[in-house]
């Protein structure tokens, strides 16, 4: 936009240049011309701003003064003040081409597309063959999702200039959104056929690559991004999109290299920092992963969401203290983060702090009562806390939510055993003998049931079955300390 602003001001400068000299007493014209020359030649926008402010004091109704003032403010990135200056210029000359066009571009660059269209339509009505105004109309309609209208304006540009690469890109990207694959890809090829500068255009290759990614043509997308990178190896978008293609194709090493290049060019590229953290997490290099997640946090005001990833790495390292710290930070950022609550519950449970575990799983359960995985974990922790009736109710509910959740059945059986109902538990287990009879969870619960029966009835029959189950578990799954101790105690009692 700024280049277009300067270009338009050259016409104003020429207008004033028609005078042979500027007399000292003509202060208004002198201030305006001085401001324009400062913009054009010296790039001293602070000085030009002051010159225009002096000119405004001399003549408050001259649109040229406000237009020049607006341009200086735009260059200084004082957007709010620039907007007011454009409005003033429009108020004093609502049909001037420069005012309408430059204000339209300013609005477009600040994502005020509806308002930009209003100004640019006026320009288009005055000059229907003005390429830049037509292009920005196409651009604004594209941003608003009015793809058919955007295509029509972009086609009009190509009728005036068939080499206009940006017009091809708008048409192709509109067709991409309209899911017209063949027309989209043909448009990119037309750009290469008709534009002499196409093979030098980073933007064209990059846009083409993104379209190919959207159509799941990841290999060809890589080729386009590599071309883009050859044209401009300082633009981080090419290696970033290469990394996405490599990740999709499971080419992890190449993805890592592309991500590292992206970060070299743009050290605060949040998604790349996060993706590198994920790659190192998969490699079980948790310390390196944490380093990138910490950088991701610092790269954005929305970085709190990455505390979860750091916590997860610490959890995998069995550094529960650090994991708890970062899961709590996650919950400060997002109090409804269910995964953080569930993982905290698991950590506290593993640490033997079932009261804290219950607090965390209860918080997760309140908002997710229909989630079978959360319900089953709630049941397991209740069982550990010996809250048998509550645990039984949750195991039963988990099974209602997901009939394939056999662990809920085994948990229910364990509750019944603790409630001195081993025969009822065994009746339930019999239904799973054929499908789960050789699974450890099944055999362990079955052993508990027969141990309870043996305890109740002091029967050699139940003791022998218990001993057989101990042998079966160790033969199938290797030594188990609790099973070995149980077998030892049974043998001693037998003697």
Structure tokens at 102: 């430059």
Crossing angle for the helix pair 320-333 and 338-350, to the nearest 10 degrees: 160
Cβ atoms of 8 and 98 within 8 Å: the answer is: yes
- pLDDT of 5 higher than 60: no
The residue that leads in pLDDT, 42 or 397, is: 397
pLDDT of residue 34: 57
Give me the helix-helix angle, 131-143 and 147-160, nearest 10°. Answer: 160
Counting residues of the chain whose pLDDT is more than 90, the rounded percentage is: 77
Q: With contact defined as beta carbons under 8 Å apart, do 236 and 265 qualify? A: yes
Q: Is residue 274's pLDDT more than 70?
A: yes
Using the predicted structure, report yes or no on whether residue 263 has a pLDDT greater than 50: yes
Least-confidence region, from 45-49, 156-160, 215-219, 358-362: 45-49
Q: Are 274 and 296 in contact (CB under 8 A)?
A: yes
Distance, CA of 230 to chain centre: 27
Largest CA distance in the chain: 125
Looking at residues 284-312, what average pLDDT do you find? 94
**Prediction pTM value:** 0.80
Residue 344 tokens read as 């905290």
Task: Determine the pLDDT at residue 67.
Answer: 85
60-77 pLDDT, tens digit per residue, is: 888 888 888 888 888 888
Token pair in block for residue 342 = 């569930």
Q: Is the pLDDT of residue 12 over 60?
A: no
Using H for helix, E for strand and C for coil, what is the string for the chain? CHHHHHHHHHHHHHHHHCCCCCCCCCHHHHHHHHHHHHHHHHCCHHHHHHHHHHHHHHCCCCHHHHHHHHHHHHHCCCHHHHHHHHHHHHHHCCCCHHHHHHHHHHHHHCCCHHHHHHHHHHHHHHCCCCHHHHHHHHHHHHHCCCHHHHHHHHHHHHHHCCCCHHHHHHHHHHHHHCCCHHHHHHHHHHHHHHCCCHHHCHHHHHHHHHHHHHCCCHHHHHHHHHHHHHHCCCCCHHHHHHHHHHHHCCCHHHHHHHHHHHHHHCCCCHHHHHHHHHHHHHCCCHHHHHHHHHHHHHCCCCHHHHHHHHHHHHHHCCCHHHHHHHHHHHHHHCCCCHHHHHHHHHHHHHCCCHHHHHHHHHHHHHCCCCCHHHHHHHHHHHHHCCCHHHHHHHHHHHHHHCCCCHHHHHHHHHHHHHCCCHHHHHHHHHCCHHHHCCCHHHHHHHHHHHHHHHHHHCCHHHHHHHHHHHHHHHHHHCCCHHHHHHHHHHHHHHC
Residue 405 has pLDDT above 50, yes or no: yes
Cβ pair 281, 312 in contact under 8 A: yes
Q: 14-23, 173-182, 245-254, 417-426 — which is least confidently predicted?
A: 14-23
Structure token pair of residue 449: 């049931």
Lowest pLDDT segment from 37-46, 71-80, 240-249 = 37-46
Share the mean pLDDT of the chain: 89
Which structure tokens are listed for 337? 């983060």
Enter the tokens of residue 369. Answer: 């009562």
Confidence tier at 40 by pLDDT (50, 70, 90)? very low
Other beta carbons within 10 angstroms of residue 197's beta carbon come to 10
Q: Provide the pLDDT for residue 53.
A: 81
Q: Would the pLDDT of 298 be above 60?
A: yes
């Amino acid at each position: 936009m700024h280049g277009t602003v300067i270009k338009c001001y050259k016409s104003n400068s020429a207008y004033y240049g028609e005078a042979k000299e500027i007399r000292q007493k003509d202060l208004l014209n002198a201030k305006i011309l001085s401001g324009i020359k400062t913009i054009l030649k010296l790039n001293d926008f602070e000085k030009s701003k002051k010159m225009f402010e002096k000119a405004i004091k001399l003549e408050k109704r001259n649109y040229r003064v406000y237009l020049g003032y607006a341009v200086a403010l735009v260059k200084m990135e004082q957007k709010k003040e620039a907007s007011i200056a454009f409005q003033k210029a429009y108020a004093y000359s609502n049909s001037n081409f420069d005012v309408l066009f430059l204000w339209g571009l300013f609005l477009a660059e600040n994502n005020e597309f509806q308002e930009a269209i209003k100004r640019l339509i006026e320009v288009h009505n005055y000059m229907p063959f003005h390429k830049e105004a037509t292009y920005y109309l196409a651009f604004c309609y594209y941003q608003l999702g009015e793809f058919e209208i955007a295509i029509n304006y972009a086609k009009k540009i190509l009728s005036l200039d068939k080499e206009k690469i940006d017009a091809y890109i708008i048409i192709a990207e509109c067709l991409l959104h309209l899911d017209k694959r063949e027309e989209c890809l043909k448009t990119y090829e037309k750009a290469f056929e008709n534009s002499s500068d196409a093979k030098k255009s980073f933007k064209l290759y990059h846009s083409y690559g993104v379209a190919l990614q959207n159509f799941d043509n990841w290999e060809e997308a890589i080729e386009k991004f590599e071309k883009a990178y050859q044209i401009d190896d300082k633009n981080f978008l090419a290696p970033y999109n290469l990394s996405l293609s490599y990740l999709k194709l499971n080419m992890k090493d190449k993805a890592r290299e592309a991500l590292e290049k992206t970060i070299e060019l743009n050290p605060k590229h949040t998604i790349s920092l996060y993706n590198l953290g994920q790659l190192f997490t998969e490699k079980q290099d948790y310390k390196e992963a944490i380093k990138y997640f910490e950088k991701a946090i610092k790269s954005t005001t929305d970085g709190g969401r990455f505390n979860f990833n750091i916590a997860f790495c610490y959890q995998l390292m069995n550094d529960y203290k650090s994991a708890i710290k970062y899961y709590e930070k996650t919950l400060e950022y997002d109090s409804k983060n269910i995964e953080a609550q569930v993982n905290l519950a698991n950590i506290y449970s593993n640490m033997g702090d079932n009261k804290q575990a219950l607090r965390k799983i209860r918080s997760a359960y309140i908002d997710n009562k229909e989630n079978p995985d959360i319900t089953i974990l709630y049941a397991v922790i209740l069982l550990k806390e010996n809250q048998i009736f509550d645990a039984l109710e949750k195991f039963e509910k988990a099974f209602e939510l997901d009939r394939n959740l056999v662990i809920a059945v085994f948990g229910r059986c364990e509750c019944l055993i603790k409630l001195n109902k081993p025969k009822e538990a065994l009746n339930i287990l019999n239904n799973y003998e054929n499908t789960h009879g050789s699974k450890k969870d099944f055999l362990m619960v079955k052993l508990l049931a027969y141990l309870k029966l043996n305890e109740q009835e002091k029967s050699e029959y139940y003791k022998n079955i218990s001993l057989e189950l101990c042998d079966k578990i160790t033969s199938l799954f290797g030594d188990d300390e609790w099973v070995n101790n149980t077998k030892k105690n049974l043998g001693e009692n037998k003697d």
